[in-house]
Structure 1
Amino acid sequence: MNAGATCIGEDQTLFEAAQMMRDMNVGSLPICGNDKKLHGIITDRDIVVKCLAEGKDAKDCTAGQLAQGHIAWVDVDTDMDEILDRMGREQVKRMPVIEDHQLVGMISEADLAKHLDDKRLSTFVERVFAHA
């Protein structure tokens, strides 16, 4: 897990999100609401496909406008097998980690690649990327 995940606020623009991603060298950010809860995850691809490709201005669109749908997450105490199972079922490459109702980190495919044996990593990749 990458501890201390930095959120983009729901009222911040996609332009700000893109700058944050650039500065942190990441491809996604959790979206946190004014209520301090996780509202979603925004990716660099979301900014391109759901804003720029639609002819919208990234300085006018907010992260909250893209925070839609089901949010998959795991508790800080969740064991690795359950994390892998949940990421596979949800077909997500990033999983927020929550403790006491607060975002404390993110687990990415890169984290898994560093810490899993080849067999478990292969199974994860097959489940997540098979239908991508």
Structure 2
Amino acid sequence: MTQHVRDIMTGTPVSVGANTSVAEVARIMRDRDLGAVLVTDGDRLRGLVTDRDLVVRSVSTGGDPEETTVAGACSEDLVTVGPDDELDLAVRLMREHAVRRVPVVEGGHPVGIVSLGDAAMERDPESALGDISVARPNT
């Protein structure tokens, strides 16, 4: 049976505006146990920012995280899928573009995120990646 992105994606993703501070995004990630947040301009997807992006593209440059906006830390050249696309397409795009998360967009609006961990859990829940994906975070 063909699986679709809709079947495994995380729906209603957390998003922030491009002018949100890096510090605020970090707090959101901490409080909601997230590794990625969508960056929007109104209701349109502008980018995706990960916890690693915050460190590598922002904190490491020495700027004040309370004053620096997430616009400079987010990935803007995004690969996206639709909720009715086949899961195989999402996995192929992750491989081709070396990304772990792909925003799910419908009608130009973000509706979810599908991650490598989601795919691993669906396809091979007994794999090491599947185990890691369901493990409680180290806090």
Which residue number in structure 2 is paired with residue 128 of structure 1? none
Partner residue of 1:80? Answer: 87
- Which residue of structure 2 lines up, in the alignment, with residue 30 of structure 1? 38
CA distance in 2, matches of 1:43, 1:67: 8
SS of equivalent to 2:47: strand
Aligned: 1:63 with 2:70: yes
Aligned partner of 1:2: which letter?
Answer: T
Within 5 Å, which residues of 2 pair with 1:80-99?
80-99=87-106
TM-superposition CA deviations, 1:50-93 (whole Å, max 9, x none):
22211111111111122354111101111011111111111110
Question: Corresponding residue for 2:135?
Answer: none
Q: 1:19 aligns with which of 8, 15, 27?
A: 27
- CA RMSD, aligned part only? 1.8
Q: Distance between the aligned counterparts of 1:38 and 1:47, measured in 2?
A: 18
Bigger mean CA offset, 49-58 vs 64-73:
64-73
Report runs of 4+ in structure 1 exceeding 3 Å deviation: none
Q: Deviations over 1:16-63 (max 9, x none)?
A: 1001101110111111113x2111111111111222211111111111
Structure 1: which 5+ runs fail to align? 123-132
Larger deviation, residues 44-53 vs 92-101: 44-53
Where 1:19 maps in the other structure, the secondary structure is: helix
| SS of equivalent residue, structure 1 residue 8 | strand
Q: CA separation in 2, counterparts of 1:68 and 1:110?
A: 19
Amino acid at match of 2:47: G
Residue type at the aligned position of 1:11: N
Identity %: 29
Matched positions, count: 119
Query: Counterpart in 1 of 2:119?
Result: 112
**Where does the alignment leave 5 or more consecutive residues of structure 2 unmatched?**
1-8, 130-139
Length-normalised TM-score, structure 1: 0.82
